[in-house]
Amino acid sequence: MSEDFRHEPVLAREVVELLRPGPGLVFLDGTLGGGGHTELFLEAGAQVIGMDKDPRALAAASARLARYGEAFRAVRGDFRDAKGVLAALKLDGVDGALVDLGVSSPQLDDASRGFSFREGGPLDMRMGPEGQTLADLLARLDERELGRILDEYGEERFARPIARAIKRAVEAGEPLDTARLAELVAGAIPRKAWPPRIHPATRTFQALRIAVNDELGALAAWLDALPAITRPGARAGAISFHSLEDRAVKERFRALCQACICPPGMPVCGCGAAATFKAVTRKAVTASEQEVARNPRARSARLRVVERLR
Ligand SMILES: C[S@@+](CC[C@H](N)C(=O)[O-])C[C@H]1O[C@@H](n2cnc3c(N)ncnc32)[C@H](O)[C@@H]1O
């Protein structure tokens, strides 16, 4: 099973250089997936707690990383609850934290998970067994709300006609799988406006996946928890694949690195506040041409890192 569940870690060299795992340090990998980044941290001598919502990812990564013994602990859970997970393990914080957002290649490739528009699968799209499925979401949202999600999370120009086509099929009780859903989406976009290199349903599927899993909510909670889950000197990194995610990371990291909170225009600082983090990356780190050639998924990856000061 573990060999089937392989996911090439993106920005591997950059993650290790910037997060600096090493002996005596404890790392929290919030998105264990196939265990690629965790393995790099373990190889560098760190202990790692690897979290994932997906029991299959946990089982495969645990089997693959068993040789590291007690240095690796797998925990099923949502990284939005990182603080509670560390408290349950009686840890006051970690020296390194990473989230590598989105879904893994094995999740995308397994039609039964409902992420694929090429092969028919159930309207699911959940990363783990809990929570609402895509079928639940499509039944609950009205056409306007669905259109807003496709516009906002998918930057889909044809959000409204796509939402109309989907809701019409759902309300007519048409039996839908992911392949039929993709057909409906493609049919709602004028052929001459189909994107050149990607399937016309790509943006819609991405938007629906983000909504089903409340991916932006989980990221916001992890960013808010950083002061509580890191020790002084710790480094925290986030790899995002979507402009909304990257913007959330950039803004929250900037706020964490800001010292003075006086209103602009004050002649002297009156708040006396000192920053708790400093930026390690001034701008997002992206994949080299060689990496993108080897692993096209890396094309849109953006890594940002901060360091806890005190
Ligand atoms: C891109 S993959 C990570 C790949 C991993 N870094 C590697 O090198 O193999 C993302 C993983 O994070 C998990 N995931 C996404 N959001 C999560 C969340 N909020 N909490 C826990 N796991 C999450 C997914 O189930 C998936 O396995």
pLDDT tens by residue, 157-168 = 999 999 999 999
49 bridge partner residues: 28, 73
Q: What is the pLDDT of residue 105?
A: 87
Task: Answer yes or no: is the C-beta of 50 below 6 A from any ligand 1 atom.
Answer: no
Geometric angle at alpha carbon 102, from 104 and 214, rounded to 5°: 135
- State the distance from the centre of ligand 1 to the C-alpha of 113, rounded, in angstroms: 14
Ligand 1 atom with minimal separation from the 61 CA: 9
Task: Answer yes or no: is the C-beta of 95 below 6 A from any ligand 1 atom.
Answer: no
Query: What's the whole-model pTM score?
Result: 0.94
The rounded distance, in Å, linking the Cα atoms of 218 and 195 is 30
- State the distance from the centre of ligand 1 to the C-alpha of 242, rounded, in angstroms: 15
CB < 8 Å & 24+ apart, contacts of 53-56: 53/77, 53/78, 53/127, 53/128, 53/130, 54/104, 54/107, 54/127, 54/128, 55/128, 55/129, 56/1, 56/5, 56/106
Q: What is the pLDDT of residue 264?
A: 80
Q: Specify the 3-state DSSP secondary structure of 74.
A: strand
Which band of pLDDT confidence, cut at 50, 70 and 90, is reported for residue 7? confident
DSSP at 80: G
Which band of pLDDT confidence, cut at 50, 70 and 90, is reported for residue 274? confident
Burial degree of 159 (CB within 10 A; 0-12, 13-18, 19+): buried
What is the pLDDT averaged over residues 190-202? 93
pLDDT for 102-140, tens place per residue? 999 889 889 999 998 889 999 999 999 999 999 999 999
Least confident of 28-32, 231-235, 295-299: 295-299
- Between 260 and 157, residue with greater pLDDT: 157
Task: Answer yes or no: is the C-beta of 36 below 6 A from any ligand 1 atom.
Answer: yes
The rounded distance, in Å, linking the Cα atoms of 166 and 23 is 52
Q: What is the pLDDT of residue 1?
A: 40
Task: Answer yes or no: is the C-beta of 222 below 6 A from any ligand 1 atom.
Answer: no
* Residue partners of 220: CB distance under 8 A and separation at least 6: 248, 252
Query: Residue with the nearest Cα to atom 22 of ligand 1?
Result: 52
Nearest CA-CA partner of 9 in 32, 28, 37: 37
pLDDT for 58-99, tens place per residue? 999 999 999 999 999 999 999 999 999 999 999 999 999 999
Task: Answer yes or no: is the C-beta of 57 below 6 A from any ligand 1 atom.
Answer: yes
The rounded distance, in Å, linking the Cα atoms of 295 and 309 is 35
Ligand 1 atom with minimal separation from the 9 CA: 8
- What DSSP string runs through 91-118? -S-EEEEEEE-S--HHHHH-GGGS--SS
- State the distance from the centre of ligand 1 to the C-alpha of 32, rounded, in angstroms: 5
- State the distance from the centre of ligand 1 to the C-alpha of 99, rounded, in angstroms: 7
